[in-house]
Structure 1
Amino acid sequence: MTREHPRPLLQPTDDFDWIIGSDEPGAAQRLAQETSWALLDRVREGADPAVVDRVVGLASGSGIDDIAELWAGESTHSLAGVLWRLYLLRRVVAGDAEGSAELFRRGVAVAVTIDPVVAGVAEPVTPLGIAELCDTILRGAFTGDLGDALDRAASYCRIMSLGSADLADARDELDDAHAAHLTTRALRYQTLAQELHAGARRWRDGTLA
């Protein structure tokens, strides 16, 4: 039985207010599972660089709307959910590469963990470099070990969370509203980091749906 699904609204980068997670079972969930596994299997089996480039490039074009419609409501218990989060990170950079690069630079400067090494990015950190990093992470999900790609994305998110918090502190005395917005963004990146790390663990133990 065909079911109508509303097309999710992609918020502007400045808002970063996507709500990820769904408690609606049924056809939509099965379709999300089937399409995500079919895409992963097809790309891995073919290993055609041109195909991989097209799949990664969906994050920068109108194809992201189709991905969102299928996968945006899925949790990190599913392949669709973790792949959507990887696409989401790339989409955010596509919307504001300069701002993303600034947050990453700030995050690296205050990080006291190995996250900058795990995430990896060419120095100096530039908007192009951040976009290429996200492409590399997303490409790794289809051509390498998905668990490693998810852990790398989690490290990226932790760095972005630190950068957002650091910039919030710097803006606190100048613009309370902007500082509060950046603090919220820091929390969202931290949540994404936790979700991606959990997805990596499920991939490795074979419990990713």
Structure 2
Amino acid sequence: MSERAHHRPMRPGSDFFADLGGGEDPALLTEAADRAATLLVRGAHDAEDPEIAERVLNLAETEGIETIAEVWAGSPADSLAGCLWRLFLVRSWVYASPTEVARAFEAGVAHAPVAQVLAGVAEPPGPDELKTMVDEVLRGVASSDFADVLFRAAAFARVVATGRAALPDPTQEDVKRMLLLAEQLEAAGHQELAHGLS
């Protein structure tokens, strides 16, 4: 277990990524977060059951993002729990503001073409295409290599961050937060490849 200071993930914008953490015993929450994340990522992948991928995808809807936040929001970015928190936040954000996200993604495509290819969004990158992409990424938690899931999500976040910076009157704080999210997910992907996240 890492002893680094835990930081909540930075929100990419639109006040969507507000602090949703609860006031439970931090030690118990950390233990629950780590256990749940390990079972979800390692257990779901080992099961090779297509229905599990759908359950993972809809976890935020069935359990509520606030419930997930209570367990995962305080987890470090280089942990399974912290990565899952960031992935579910990205999906929830795309579903809550698909047009806004699509506009930022489209604006970023010209400036981050490699990341756009890695993210795997169909052309043109409209709201429905982004929802499809983010769902595919989350299904990958159960069916793909977890490092690939993290790299795709990181590439998506990088394109959106680049797009936000290119749009008129960008909020620097929002750009920085989305870029930080991309960097955290990418670093976690490399860590997963090197020795596996826990």
Shift of 1:106: 0.3
Q: TM (normalized to structure 1)?
A: 0.80
Q: Which runs of 4+ in 1 moved over 4 A?
A: 16-21
Match of 1:183 in 2: 172
Aligned residue in 1 for 2:124 = 124
Partner of 2:15: 15
Tell me which structure has the larger Cα radius of gyration: 1
Deviation at 1:77, TM superposition (A): 2.3
- Aligned Cα RMSD in Å? 2.5
Distance 1:19 1:198 in 2: 23
* Cα-to-partner distance string for 1:71-95 (whole Å, 9 max, x where unaligned): 1110122100011111110010111
**Normalising by structure 2, what TM-score?**
0.84
* TM-fit CA distance, 1:189: 0.7
* Larger RCO, structure (CA 8 Å, separation 6 or more): 2
Alpha-carbon distance in structure 2 between the residues aligned to 1:52 and 1:144: 10
Are the structure 2 counterparts of residues 164 and 68 from structure 1 closer, same or farther at C-alpha, using a change threshold of 3 Å?
A: same
Aligned equivalent of 1:4:
none
The alignment partner of 2:59 has SS state of: helix
* CA-CA distance at 1:62 after TM superposition: 4.8
Instruction: Name the CA distance, whole Å, in 1 between partners of 2:91 and 2:72.
Output: 15
Distance 2:51 2:120 in 1: 24
Unmatched runs of 5 consecutive residues or more in structure 1: 1-7, 172-178
Q: What is the correspondence of 1:1-209 to structure 2 with a 5 Å cutoff?
A: 14-18=14-18, 26-60=27-61, 62-111=63-112, 113-167=113-167, 170-171=168-169, 179=170, 182-209=171-198
Query: CA 1:97–1:163 in 2, change beyond 3 Å: closer, same or farther?
Result: same
Alpha-carbon separation, structure 1, partners of 2:85 and 2:127: 22
Q: Is contact 1:59-1:90 (8 Å) kept?
A: no
